[in-house]
Chain A
Amino acid sequence: MINRIKLARLELGMTQQELADAVGVTRQTITLIEKGDYNPSLRLCLAICYALNKTLNDLFWPKEAKV
């Protein structure tokens, strides 16, 4: 799944560890999600959205797919 977590995180000046601490997961999990190697649950997606002050559409939907 394409996601824009890394971009949104860097916009806020957050490190992977800070985001991981904010949503209660390990840094490895954040790395894998950013690389697209792990599909997070909806609960974790929402937690990441809250932490980065973004919506699901902003982070997890590519612009091309927007209707």
Chain B
Amino acid sequence: MKKMLTDERIIEEARKQNSMGFILLYYGLLLVLLYRQFILRQSFAEYWDVALLFFGITFYMAARRINSGLLANKLNPLSIVPSALIAAVVFVGVQYFWHMSNTLSELVICGLVFLACFFGLNLLMQYFSSKKNDDLLKQ
């Protein structure tokens, strides 16, 4: 049987389709996780495999983005603030509705710790990404 010819257009089109398939699968996994945790109220032991897959993929993508310098051209702490604030508010909201027994002071402390961790981690990621970009310019 004659092998089908593949050229750059076919490869590019296949990559686009694979990319769209990945996006659907990735966000599908996220929805499955949220559904199992918040709707079905399953314990972590029941969905750890899906969680491991989702966070593993997320970690891999973050590592590749940082390593290729695509995450950030230069260090810009201010750009992290909006997403850090939104993430902290969502985190506090989930904490409140999930653990109704939380007091206000506990929620504030949880929120501040989360905000600091989120900000610090993103700053670190930006630092390594910008360092990679600087290294590329030196070459």
Contact = CB atoms under 8 A, between A and B. Distances in A.
B99 interface: no
B136 interface: no
B119 to A, nearest CB: 41
B6 to A, nearest CB: 8
Interface stretch (A3-11, A36-44, A50-58, A59-67): A36-44
Interface residues of A, number: 11
B49 interface: no
Interface string A26-40: 101100100000101
A38 to B, nearest CB: 6
Given A24-B7, A25-B7, A32-B9, 5 more contacts: A25-B5, A25-B9, A28-B9, A43-B8, A44-B7
B10 interface: yes
A41 B8 CA distance: 8
Nearest to B5: A26
Interface in B6-33: 7-10
A40 B8 CA distance: 8
11 contacts: A24-B5, A24-B7, A25-B5, A25-B8, A25-B9, A29-B8, A29-B10, A38-B9, A40-B8, A44-B7, A44-B8
